[in-house]
Amino acid sequence: MTLAATSIPGYLAGTWSIDPAHSDVSFSVRHMMVSKVKGRFGTFSGTIVTAEDPAQSSVTAEIDLNSIDTNNAQRDDHIRSRDFFEVEKNPTMTFTSTSVAADGSDFLLTGDLTLKGITKPVTLKLELNGIGPDPFGGTRAGFSASTEISRKEFGVDIDMPMDGGGVVIGDRINIALEIEAVLNHPLS
């Protein structure tokens, strides 16, 4: 299926900045083989370029790994250490899109994710929640996106086996994004 700007209500071509005050970058991971621990990053930025042809649109984003928050300071410090992110050497995680494709009424956003100096392609299921005016005379767009990655593929390969089998931390990380962006420069 091809993308058509005319089939997207309110679609505007332009350059947008992610509004971190109204956005969320979060994740969950299996813990102790019985539950999931959730966390988020508090500091991130990004630019979205919506092209006249939506399939030519692009996204770049950067996440400050020091801003991790799992609601447990000791765990957050451990995740920042060499065992996990090694933030002294690798302070950011980045994403640069390489393609956008229609997926029914939603989209697939594929790009290169870089974590700990390792770059791998990932595909996010992307939903455009809407585009419209804000009360300040500007224009905003909302997006939801999700994907799943293997932490081990990005060099976060600590294994903490449990007595009786299993591991303390699972390999699969579910990533969820709720993004609100502000139009900076319309292309029209």
Confidence at residue 1, expressed as pLDDT on a 0 to 100 scale: 41
Query: For 34-67, what is each residue's pLDDT tens digit?
Result: 678 899 999 999 999 999 988 899 999 999 999 9
Q: What CA–CA distance (Å, rounded) separates 96 from 49?
A: 12
pTM: 0.90
What Rg, from alpha-carbon coordinates, does the chain have?
18
Is 8 in contact with 181 (CB distance < 8 Å)?
no
Query: For 6-39, what is each residue's pLDDT tens digit?
Result: 567 788 899 999 999 999 999 998 765 667 889 9
Residue type, 36: K
Q: How remote is the C-alpha of 148 from its chain's centroid?
A: 10
Query: For 97-143, what is each residue's pLDDT tens digit?
Result: 999 998 888 899 999 999 999 999 999 999 999 999 999 899 999 99
Does the pLDDT of residue 160 top 50, yes or no? yes
Report the range of poorest mean pLDDT among 84-88, 104-108, 118-122, 144-148.
104-108
Helix or strand or coil: residue 128? strand
Confidence at residue 185, expressed as pLDDT on a 0 to 100 scale: 80
Q: Structural domains in the chain?
A: 5-186 (2.40.128.110)
Work out the angle at residue 171's Cα, subtended by the Cα atoms of residues 165 and 174, and round it to the nearest 5 degrees: 130
With CA atoms as reference, report the closest residue to 177 among 110, 112, 113, 127.
Answer: 127
Confidence of residue 157 (pLDDT cuts 50, 70, 90): confident
DSSP 51: -
